[in-house]
Structure 1
Amino acid sequence: MESSKNPNTKTSQFELMVQFMTSHSDLAKGYLKSPEARQKSKQLWLNLSANLNAEGPPQRDVVGWKKVWADFKVHTKAKLRKNRINISATGSGPPKYYSLNALEEKVIELVDLNQAVDGMQRSLCFGVAHETNSNSQLEDYTESVGASVVGIENADEEFETLKQV
């Protein structure tokens, strides 16, 4: 259905898409993955594409409208990420700000893009100790982690085990 020239999606089509996704948040977030949910997702996309095509040119098939939705989310997330980076940047002059329109703000809230850009707040950091050959780094690691872990009675034995590895 889509021409090779790839015409621009109208604002009214974006508004209709965001309104539809607001009422079907599982579809917007991509949570419909089970076999029954895939059928529901397919039907919802068929309904949405029919409504969007009725709104006027451009006309697209379901795959085309899915790409429009994915691209819209990606570009909105990119703006949000650039704004976060520019706010925390150091240097001369004021930070550059990419303005977000009302539709982009709704998408940010709907799909929770703030969490995607900023990360989960109040979460613990977990990691794997880096393997090193330096005994002093192993000692520092054992003293800071091994001896403070509840249940380790003999930190010296744990240290000797780590040294052998």
Structure 2
Amino acid sequence: MEENPEVAKGFSVNRIDVDRFWRDAAVKLNSHGPPSKDGATWKKVWADFKNKTKKKLVENETKRKQSGFNDNNLIPLSEFEEAIVRITSLSQSVSGIKAKVFGVNQTRIEEPDVAETASTSNNNISMTSINEDEEHLVEKQRSQRTKNDTPVQLLQKQNEVFEKFFADLCSKLDDMKYEFHRINRNLQRTEDRQKQIYEENRRHNLALENIMLQKLELKKKLIEMELEKLTEKLVDA
């Protein structure tokens, strides 16, 4: 993956190259023994690991901000997860960019790679559900405010609510991208099958035409033989 960072991040738009990469990767990975998976399944495994690592980073970033950037209580990352962060630049995507929300500078999570995930139970994702989630989170934020909250505490609570919203938004966008890719693959398979059926029908029709031509040639020869016999009889008569 270090040699193919664009594939690791999900930036590549050439589906043929990506599919070829995962087919080759599956051969190499399967050569090390069980489990044995095809390229699409290994691609899903990588997306799952990347998504879980991203969630850890988001949680750690939230803890750091709540504790005044204290790193003592952060969730430790494994060596493999640290490699994922390094290859895919997840730290930059989790730290996000500043944007104004309700008149206050907030941090918005930007996920450049929007990795494919394995969840097929979320096939009916829509932007309507995302907007409903946003309204729910804003309402939840308002309900959590008390008279004793200081402006700093209010800002922290607002920040936590929107960080969770944007993390959930990135996850749903991941699911949507995976579903779109799945539909695209199915359409491609259907198109390939239609081409195959067309070629088979064309070969079948050509074969039938050849058979008909052969029959016509045979009938022509039989008619010529009959004419020769009739001519001979007329001459003898």
* TM-score (normalised: structure 2): 0.38
Which residue of 81, 94, 98 maps to 1:104? 81
Counterpart position of 2:11: 31
What one-letter code is carried by the residue in structure 2 that aligns with 1:75?
Answer: K
Counterpart position of 1:44: 21
Per-residue deviation, residues 25-79 of structure 1 (Å, max 9, x unmatched): 111111221xxx2211111110001111111111111221111100110111111
Counterpart position of 1:71: 48
**Higher relative helix content:** 2
Q: Mark the CA change 1:87 to 1:55 in structure 2 (over 3 Å): closer, same or farther.
A: same
CA distance in 2, matches of 1:31, 1:114: 16
Q: Mark the CA change 1:64 to 1:99 in structure 2 (over 3 Å): closer, same or farther.
A: same
Counterpart position of 2:62: 85
Maintained 8 Å contact 1:86/1:95: no
Maintained 8 Å contact 1:83/1:98: yes
CA distance in 2, matches of 1:80, 1:128: 25
SS at 1:23 equivalent = coil
Shift of residue 89, structure 1, vs aligned partner: 1.9
Q: Mark the CA change 1:106 to 1:43 in structure 2 (over 3 Å): closer, same or farther.
A: same
**Higher relative strand content:** 2
CA distance in 2, matches of 1:62, 1:29: 17
Unmatched tracts of structure 2, length 5 or more: 104-237
RMSD: 2.5
* Larger radius of gyration between Structure 1 and Structure 2: 2
CA distance in 2, matches of 1:29, 1:61: 20
- Percent identity over the alignment is 34
Matched pairs, number: 101
Per-residue deviation, residues 71-124 of structure 1 (Å, max 9, x unmatched): 110111111111111122259xx953211122211211211111221113xx6x
Alignment of 1:114-133 (within 5 A): 114-120=91-97, 125=99
CA distance in 2, matches of 1:26, 1:86: 30
CA distance in 2, matches of 1:90, 1:52: 41
Unmatched tracts of structure 1, length 5 or more: 1-20, 130-165
